[in-house]
Amino acid sequence: MNQLKISVAGAGAMGAGIAQVAATYGHQVTLYDSFQAALDKAKPAVRKSLDKAVEKNKLTAEKADAVMSAIRFTSDLNDISGSDLFIEAIIEQIEAKQNLFYEVEKLVSDQCILATNTSSLPVIAIGSNCKNQERIIGLHFFNPPVLMQLVEVIPTFNTKAAITESCKTLMKNWGKVPVIAKDTPGFIVNRIARPYYGEALRIYEEGIAGFETIDHAMKSVGGFKMGPFELMDFIGNDINYKVTETVFGQMFYDPRYKPSITQKRLFEGKLYGRKTGKGYYNYANPSEPKPSNDEALLQSIFDRIFAMLVNEAADALMMQIASAEDIELAMTKGVNYPMGLLQWANTTGPEKVLATLQHLFEWYGEDRYRPSPLLKRVVADKTLFKTR
């Protein structure tokens, strides 16, 4: 599938990054955005990214120039005609995506694959206005697409099997690690990772520990590269809150995915994190809050969040959201977890995870902490999770 014409809609960080990746691997790319200002910002951003790759000896100057010249920046949607693959990366709003897909289908051939980069919306719904449902698929890249290896490939009930396989192969050819996920809320990563943020917020709201102590616990005890509050500020509390809200609604208001009032208030106050200078931490006027070094407290924080993460991974496996191997790959390659959650649970002991959840369930009396039947089965059978 070399020398394809790739079109990307949305010239924000995600769309521009995807366009750069496609051009790097030898494709002619059209980057479309209806707002000229977005294109004017994207062009120097791609150039800067390429120059940085040259500085780090990842690309030659000649290759960087070739990549830049392979990308056409346009505000005319008609320029996508003749595309072999169209990837949508616009605002995370279902009506806008549906309308775009409807218009795009009129401009491309029946052979053109129509993909969405949505992180949390139903893929089948995004393409629901299209006549040919067999070529609709999700290709969820992670930010920044140039650096992050994982791509979630999300077929719908209508997607032709050959389309799924060709997209998986193409992503491998682009140097990515593709995983296949069901078209369910949050797919793999944004479903399984929800407790990393949600349970951390719950611990904070209960007054058990502050942001810095919770972050310290997950880094010092768990070996995570970033604590949950650091990570939310890095991702952006606008994005993280909206994904949480979307997954909660789409999961029929299952309390496991319930958003936090604290995060909602930060969202409402436009305290999005690093990009606004303030979120859970103040980046405009940074201080150095000292976390607690109480080992028992740090361990209890880690145990609680870790148990919730493993429980979510076990449930995703039980509900056949993805294979065990793809679940492990998704969490290590998509959000840089120190280890796949299923293997990690095997290492620490599934019975310990279950005991933590049962204690939380009995103490709070909330369905939020109900143990996954698969976790209970693994413990009852005295076995381990299959990771492949």
The residues carrying an active-site annotation are: 119, 140, 152, 190
- φ, ψ of residue 172 in degrees (nearest 5): -65, -40
Q: How far is the C-alpha of 367 from the C-alpha of 177, rounded, in Å?
A: 35
Q: How far is the C-alpha of 106 from the C-alpha of 109, rounded, in Å?
A: 8
Secondary structure string (H, E, C) spanning 286-323: CCCCCCCCCHHHHHHHHHHHHHHHHHHHHHHHHCCCCC
Pick left, alpha or beta for residue 323 (phi over 0 → left; psi -120 to 50 → alpha; otherwise beta): beta
Q: How far is the C-alpha of 354 from the C-alpha of 370, rounded, in Å?
A: 10
Q: How far is the C-alpha of 51 from the C-alpha of 65, rounded, in Å?
A: 9
Nearest residue to 84 (alpha-carbon basis) of 28, 168, 161: 28
